[in-house]
Chain A
Amino acid sequence: MTLLAPLALLGLLFVPLIVAFYLLRLRRHERTVSSTFLWRALVRDVEANAPWQRLRRSLLLLLQLLVVVALVLVVARPSGERAAGLSRDLVLVVDASASMAATDVFPDRLTAAKRAAIAALGDLPADGRVSVVAAAESARVVANEATDRGRVTRAIESIEQSTAPGRLAEALTLASELAERARGAEILIVTDDTASAAPEVALTVPVRVLTVGAERDNQAIAALAVRTDPSGLERTVFVSVANYSDSRVVRRLRLLADGTPITARDLPMEAVSRSDVVIDELPEGTRVVEAQLAEIAAAELPAENSAAPSPPDRLALDDRAWAIVAPDRIRRVLLVGPGNAYLQTAFALLPNVELYGATAAEYGSTTGKDRFDLFVFDGYLPEELPGAAILAIAPPASSPLGTVSDTLANPAISQGAAEEPLLRNVDLSRLHIAQAQRMELPDWARVVLPASDSSPLIYSGLREGAATAVIAFDLRASDLPLQVAWPILATNLAGELLGLAPGGVEPVAPGSPVELALAPGTAALRVTRPDGTVAELAPSATGAATVTWVDTRQLGVYRVERVPAPEAAGASPSAPASPAASPTGPAAGATPAAGASPSTEASPSAGALPPGPEDEPTYFAVDLFSVEESNIAVGDGGRLAALGSTTAPDAAPAGVARDEWWPLLVVAALILLLAEWLVYERDGARRIGAGARRWMSGLRPWRGRAT
């Protein structure tokens, strides 16, 4: 045993001081009483018990002396020494990834890891230096070559739980760089080692691994996506639930649309399996879909599952997921031709479609062609085909859309392919065509409707990345527009030609930066985090088109609102500042002649274009879809330990670890003080006891009545 502050032993001078105080006579207060007759008799009784009285006095003295000795020893800091188990320079890597939030050890793996790390510091030599790296969504140094154990402990305790997959490789690289600064350093990793593969890092220093965690019982929402039907009418939710536990479980999957529960399903899952759920009934206008995985009370379980209760779900982070439904997008269709009421009506009735019209002569001068999603050329083809989707009807001449070789008179209709999506629910068996172009099928297309001589009457395909379909006959030269099949075929065509981007907004991994588009006239973006806190994000430079949001550590839905610039805020909402109104109106510049023009409902004027979606809040979701983190099965750390060099840190001299005993002495001093107080205030203790007994006896009648 050594004393770190031996001078503090001077405090033992208090011992004779206390004894001196005791030697001084006790000063008593005089009180006059009627008679000391009874007291004299009492004192005789008390003197009969004098040994105890003397003992009591000396017990107090003894306790007080012991308290002083204990306090002096606390200040003198006695300590024991032993051989250190760790090298003098230590880099501690604490895994704070999402899987460390698992509660299979109390209270959770991260807290257990911090405790283990702090306990491991006890093996450090007395003059050891510690650097601490937290491995969360990024690697972060929280303490650098600290020698103060208190500081290191505080640094370890300051590590926060991350919701993101851990960057252990990055952390190990960082730790390796820190370790290489000192001779004979080593790396200590505290982790649950859930990764399926060891990080590919070459380390030149020895690595030790402390693993935390015990179980692998976890179920997770592994995927959540919302897809829009090509017609734009229906939305489908796909949920994939994974069971990483090695026993069979039953979990309840709840689905919420904008916070309102829409469905709940009980999913029985075999050990280590996945279960996929498809839900079609998504209410219209839903922006946010949330999936929740919950345990089911034993009483609610169906009989066949209640025999073996499901093990608990140890990780809560992956039991919720969010998906953002892309808002309905308006598709703009430009109809070029002499005017066709059937086409016009069929496209005008499609949902989310804006129809614009132009004659063949006006087409060349039409501006803003890049803003149209579909061009319908009716008996006309421009020399230069646009890059967007094209529906060509009765193309007059050969073009990249197909070679016109001849005309067909009264072609007989052959049976189309049974699984042809464009002919779904379309009955063309009674179609009559007076005249059609004989087309040669280009190699990018598939035949939708062949004539009896196998020349295609309708074909479709993906030409240079743009969906393209060709109808080889003029609608007015057939009875197709008069048949029930026509609007269905038009819908199917539009679905294929327009509905190529039906997906939702892709989820963001926690900790990943998000690029947020900045519309002109936007001063800043206001981002509301899932917990309700709000941050404003100003562009780093004026005129920047995007800003980057990096604080995606919380799982959930982030809401982004536009803060208009002061001058834009005062302007009229229909001012041409909005980019949506910037194309100078294809309809205005290219309105077809009367009679052939699209209906007025379908050709809004330039100034009245619908406001862009940037005036509405946008959303993005941060989801933990990580197998590495959700599969919380604990590794043995062997792979990580194998990353380090096997050579012992020979260059570093073996240190001495020091265990200070002052906490024990403080406890001892407190116990002695308490004992001294109890002996001195025996009366007080008895009074408290008597009061408690009185209080209890006051309660007794109630108990009696209750029984």
Chain B
Amino acid sequence: MTETRPGAAAAGGARNSFLPSALDPQVFDEAFLRQLDRLMLVSRTAVRGGMKGVRRSVKHGQSVEFTDYRDYALGDDLRSLDWNVYARLEKLFIKLFVEEEDVNVHVLLDASASMAGGSPDKLIFAKRAAAALAYVGLASYDRVTVSILQGRVARRLPAVRGTGRIFSVLADLSAVKAAPGATDLAAACRHYAAQLRQRGPLMLISDLFDPDVDRAIGELAATRCDVALLHTLSLDELDPPLEGDLRLVDRETSERVDVTVDLATLDAYRARLASWQAHLESISARRRVSYVSVPTSLPLADLVFAELRRRRVVA
């Protein structure tokens, strides 16, 4: 999936001719673009609904979709009167229509140092997932905001709308690099929540390796957006290929842990990982947050059309 072909842009013919030079060919390589292409085709039918809650609003308003009648009250717009009903019943009723909202899709990408590395690479996977989700949002005519969480802050990229802007999103994502040093996920989430003006679906793509991850989830849940956590873990985190007496160095904090890895240790690690994921899922459920565990080996199409749909992140 992450196959890199240095000469692909030159040799790829017409398909690659629109690839802007700002795109990182390692992240958004030919294979990814082919997947995105497939996403475009599928989205004409399957993504018609777009993100959950994007289209429909609880408010009644101006549109073409009828919802209900109510009695005429003084001052109501006479254009809303239903003259056919008046002709039949000789009573004045006002037609009510669904109010259409301008929905904002928030895609939060954790670009902490811990996201760099892993096999397959977590950051690359996260960028692709963010691009795919952004594309789904753009395809359903929503405004998409991609933000990068690094250090203690959330850096918002310009909001975009319309599928035509997908390449600017790709270019912006290409420029994202993992930040050295520690990342305070909770602080970054709080920072984003403080900037949030318009509610909408909010998706955090992160490995959630943070001691304060509970608080981070709380911050996002407090925004009353439809929050989804895409918990991204690489295969060597799910099943570490480690053995023997090792000193593990944390990529983010440079903290060192001495372990003697044997089968029993690996079993304990896996049990620990499972219980941690179960804990995250339970606190997410408590806060009405969707929790999706995503291994980096998962194909993007499966992520968007199977995994996220199953979790009702995508309608």
Name A residues whose Cβ lies closer than 8 Å to a Cβ of B: 26-43, 45-46, 682-683, 686-687, 690
Measured CB to CB, the closest approach of chain B to A37, in angstroms, equals 5
Residue from A34, A36, A40, A45 having most chain B Cβ neighbours under 10 A: A34
Closest to B211 in A: A37
Task: Tell me if B259 is interfacial: C-beta within 8 Å of chain A.
Answer: yes
Instruction: Give me 7 other A-B pairs in contact (C-beta within 8 A), A41-B272, A686-B264 excluded.
Output: A31-B246, A35-B114, A36-B253, A39-B269, A42-B268, A43-B259, A46-B268
B18-64 contacts to A, CB under 8 A, are: none
Give CA–CA (A540, B296) in the complex, Å. 93
Q: Given A40-B257, A682-B262, A683-B263, does the pair A33, B250 have CB atoms closer than 8 Å?
A: yes
Contact B209 A28 (CB under 8 A): no
Contact B246 A30 (CB under 8 A): yes
Task: Tell me if B237 is interfacial: C-beta within 8 Å of chain A.
Answer: yes
Contact B269 A32 (CB under 8 A): no
Closest to B208 in A: A37
Chain B residue numbers with a CB within 8 Å of A32 are 117, 248-249, 251
Give CA–CA (A353, B117) in the complex, Å. 110
Give CA–CA (A34, B263) in the complex, Å. 21
Residue in B243, B249, B253 whose beta carbon sits within 8 Å of that of A30 in the complex = B249
Give CA–CA (A683, B260) in the complex, Å. 11
Measured CB to CB, the closest approach of chain A to B253, in angstroms, equals 8
Task: Tell me if B247 is interfacial: C-beta within 8 Å of chain A.
Answer: yes
Chain A residue numbers with a CB within 8 Å of B245 are 26-29
Of the A-B pairs whose beta carbons lie under 8 Å apart in the complex, a sample of 6, sorted by A's number, is A28-B245, A28-B247, A28-B258, A32-B117, A43-B259, A687-B263
Q: Given A42-B259, A42-B272, A43-B259, does the pair A37, B209 have CB atoms closer than 8 Å?
A: yes
Contact A45 B250 (CB under 8 A): no
Contact A31 B258 (CB under 8 A): no
Task: Tell me if B207 is interfacial: C-beta within 8 Å of chain A.
Answer: yes
Closest to A689 in B: B263
Contact B246 A35 (CB under 8 A): no
Chain B residue numbers with a CB within 8 Å of A40 are 255, 257
Residue in B249, B262, B264 whose beta carbon sits within 8 Å of that of A33 in the complex = B249
For the complex of A and B, the 8 pairs showing the least CB-CB separation, nearest first, are A35-B209, A28-B247, A36-B250, A683-B262, A34-B114, A35-B114, A36-B257, A37-B209
Task: Tell me if B276 is interfacial: C-beta within 8 Å of chain A.
Answer: yes
Contact A686 B250 (CB under 8 A): no
Contact B251 A33 (CB under 8 A): yes
Measured CB to CB, the closest approach of chain B to A684, in angstroms, equals 9
Chain A residue numbers with a CB within 8 Å of B243 are 683
B220-262 contacts to A, CB under 8 A, are: 234, 237, 240, 242-253, 255-259, 262
Task: Tell me if B198 is interfacial: C-beta within 8 Å of chain A.
Answer: no
Give CA–CA (A260, B22) in the complex, Å. 97
Contact B249 A31 (CB under 8 A): yes
Contact A43 B207 (CB under 8 A): no
Give CA–CA (A686, B249) in the complex, Å. 28
Give CA–CA (A160, B306) in the complex, Å. 81
Measured CB to CB, the closest approach of chain A to B17, in angstroms, equals 37
Task: Tell me if B122 is interfacial: C-beta within 8 Å of chain A.
Answer: yes
Residue from B116, B211, B262 having most chain A Cβ neighbours under 10 A: B262
Contact B269 A31 (CB under 8 A): no
Task: Tell me if B282 is interfacial: C-beta within 8 Å of chain A.
Answer: no
Closest to B242 in A: A31
Chain B residue numbers with a CB within 8 Å of A35 are 114, 207, 209, 250-252
Contact B269 A42 (CB under 8 A): yes
Q: Given A29-B247, A42-B259, A43-B259, does the pair A34, B268 have CB atoms closer than 8 Å?
A: no
Task: Tell me if B265 is interfacial: C-beta within 8 Å of chain A.
Answer: yes
Chain A residue numbers with a CB within 8 Å of B151 are none
Give CA–CA (A690, B266) in the complex, Å. 14
Task: Tell me if B205 is interfacial: C-beta within 8 Å of chain A.
Answer: no
Contact B209 A29 (CB under 8 A): no
Name B residues whose Cβ lies closer than 8 Å to a Cβ of A: 114-118, 122, 207, 209-211, 234, 237, 240, 242-253, 255-259, 262-265, 268-269, 272-273, 276
Chain B residue numbers with a CB within 8 Å of A687 are 263
Contact B257 A686 (CB under 8 A): no
Measured CB to CB, the closest approach of chain B to A59, in angstroms, equals 14
Interface of B is mostly: mixed
Measured CB to CB, the closest approach of chain B to A79, in angstroms, equals 43
Closest to B247 in A: A28
Chain B residue numbers with a CB within 8 Å of A36 are 248-250, 253, 255-257
Give CA–CA (A33, B257) in the complex, Å. 10
Give CA–CA (A37, B269) in the complex, Å. 11
Measured CB to CB, the closest approach of chain B to A295, in angstroms, equals 57
Residue from B115, B245, B268 having most chain A Cβ neighbours under 10 A: B268
Contact A38 B122 (CB under 8 A): no
Closest to A682 in B: B262
Give CA–CA (A338, B129) in the complex, Å. 135
Contact A29 B249 (CB under 8 A): no
Chain A residue numbers with a CB within 8 Å of B258 are 28, 43
Give CA–CA (A307, B62) in the complex, Å. 111
Q: Given A43-B257, A46-B265, A682-B262, does the pair A38, B248 have CB atoms closer than 8 Å?
A: no
Give CA–CA (A687, B266) in the complex, Å. 12
Chain A residue numbers with a CB within 8 Å of B246 are 28-31
Q: Given A28-B245, A42-B272, does the pair A34, B265 have CB atoms closer than 8 Å?
A: no
Measured CB to CB, the closest approach of chain A to B207, in angstroms, equals 6
Chain B residue numbers with a CB within 8 Å of A31 are 242, 246-249
Contact B248 A33 (CB under 8 A): yes
Residue from A39, A45, A686, A687 having most chain B Cβ neighbours under 10 A: A39
Closest to B209 in A: A35
Give CA–CA (A46, B273) in the complex, Å. 15
Give CA–CA (A546, B263) in the complex, Å. 81
Give CA–CA (A376, B158) in the complex, Å. 145
Chain B residue numbers with a CB within 8 Å of A39 are 248, 257, 259, 269
Give CA–CA (A37, B252) in the complex, Å. 10
Chain B residue numbers with a CB within 8 Å of A38 are 209, 269, 272-273, 276
Closest to A34 in B: B114
Measured CB to CB, the closest approach of chain B to A208, in angstroms, equals 61
Closest to A690 in B: B263
Chain B residue numbers with a CB within 8 Å of A28 are 245-247, 258
Chain A residue numbers with a CB within 8 Å of B253 are 36
Give CA–CA (A46, B268) in the complex, Å. 9
Contact A29 B257 (CB under 8 A): no
Measured CB to CB, the closest approach of chain A to B182, in angstroms, equals 11
Closest to A681 in B: B262
Chain B residue numbers with a CB within 8 Å of A686 are 263-264
Q: Given A29-B245, A42-B269, A45-B268, does the pair A34, B209 have CB atoms closer than 8 Å?
A: yes
Give CA–CA (A33, B263) in the complex, Å. 18
Give CA–CA (A34, B234) in the complex, Å. 10
Measured CB to CB, the closest approach of chain A to B47, in angstroms, equals 32
Measured CB to CB, the closest approach of chain A to B154, in angstroms, equals 20
Residue from A26, A33, A43 having most chain B Cβ neighbours under 10 A: A33
Closest to A53 in B: B260
Contact A34 B257 (CB under 8 A): no
Chain B residue numbers with a CB within 8 Å of A37 are 209-211, 250
Give CA–CA (A36, B257) in the complex, Å. 7
Measured CB to CB, the closest approach of chain B to A53, in angstroms, equals 8
Chain A residue numbers with a CB within 8 Å of B210 are 37
Give CA–CA (A42, B275) in the complex, Å. 12
Measured CB to CB, the closest approach of chain A to B208, in angstroms, equals 9
Chain B residue numbers with a CB within 8 Å of A46 are 259, 265, 268
Measured CB to CB, the closest approach of chain B to A200, in angstroms, equals 77
Measured CB to CB, the closest approach of chain A to B296, in angstroms, equals 11
Closest to A56 in B: B260
Closest to A685 in B: B263
Chain B residue numbers with a CB within 8 Å of A42 are 259, 265, 268-269, 272
Give CA–CA (A311, B203) in the complex, Å. 89
Contact B207 A30 (CB under 8 A): no
Residue from B248, B258, B265 having most chain A Cβ neighbours under 10 A: B248
Give CA–CA (A517, B61) in the complex, Å. 134
Give CA–CA (A35, B263) in the complex, Å. 20
Closest to B273 in A: A38
